[in-house]
Structure 1
Amino acid sequence: MRKTLRTVNRVLLALAGLVLIGVGGTVLAGGLDLPRKWGFGMPSGWRWSGPGDVLLRAEDRTRWTDSGWWWPVVIAALAVLVLLALWWLLSQFRRHRLREMLVDSGDGEGAQLRGRALESVLAAESESLEGVNRARVLLTGRRTEPRVRVGLALAPHAEPCAVVARLSSEAIERARTSAGLERLPAEVRLRAVKHRAERVS
């Protein structure tokens, strides 16, 4: 289902992009007077074929302005479009947290494991590693193919390569084995903890 939604989302984005590029390109061509300079014609009925043309003619702009419902409807419609566009934009960057995942219980039926429970265990084990001050874990992906995003705040004396190696071979490997998964891909982001300088007297 999620894969289908991603496909539909990409198709809609591609169509919206093509429409905007097409309309913007033709308006720009008319504004720069390219049809006359380069000797080609615009589509029949196209209004914006020259620099003197306007996007909305006077009769179009003032057709319903005397009606009391016109401006409230226009403002409400534009507000809804802006909110939908913002929601759509923000949804592209949002990482969906995996609420639960399927675990092989060995009886052929399986069991469900809460995503936050696995995140808490992985975060606790990550923070127990030498050189790690804080850890944040996010479980993403699908129920049958989960993925892990780990953010580690390292102490100044920590060795990043050693921390990542232990994280992979210990915490993540134990989580993969206990959940009965063949693989558990992980993305690890490291940052150093900055300490404030203190005055020594």
Structure 2
Amino acid sequence: MAHIDYYFGTISPWAYLAGDRLERIAERHRATIAYKPLDILQLFDRTGGVRPADRHPSRMEYRAQELPRWADHLGMPLNLKPAHWPVNMAPSSYAIIAAQKAGGGNPGGLVQGFLRAVWAEDRDISDDGVIRSILSEHGFDPALADSGLFVGAETYGRNLEQAVEAGVFGSPFYVVRETGQKFWGQDRLEFLDKHLSRA
């Protein structure tokens, strides 16, 4: 059985556009997924990336064309200028970490719920009420928004360190533990699928 470490930021539009494809691939190959939310902006700082606010205008112009193209291709709604972006990623990340530890519910759906909230629903994922609502929508106890704070904060920082050590530099990023194969971007999910078929 393969194990996939999935590194992502809860404000990443590219992670949003991945939808539930990772989960479907994992189910097909009987693979497990470890969801590892992290501070994507700090990851950029640590690995030679550039934060969106500091990127050259030509890169941002291309991003503004490419995101809607992919959204249209995938049939997914997308607000290119969300009402709450950028937003503090930590609270939603803590909730995902706590939910994954608690078990039950749908962790993949929870991750997608937070991403969809940003990029399609104009919801503030740093807001306690929004976090509780999304937890509940995906089968988790809304109280995890509070009880998971300590373990969430600790794991959140550790996820960043593990990402740097694993050679991760963007979001979404998938690492197959057994083979060390790395896949960056939602447009590499097909390659991950093929890799798991051969592995």
TM-score (norm 2): 0.20
- Largest Rg, 1 or 2: 1
Comparing both chains, which one has the higher relative contact order based on Cα–Cα distances under 8 Å and sequence gaps of 6 or more?
2
- Return the structure number with greater strand share: 1
Instruction: Identify the structure with the greater helix proportion.
Output: 2
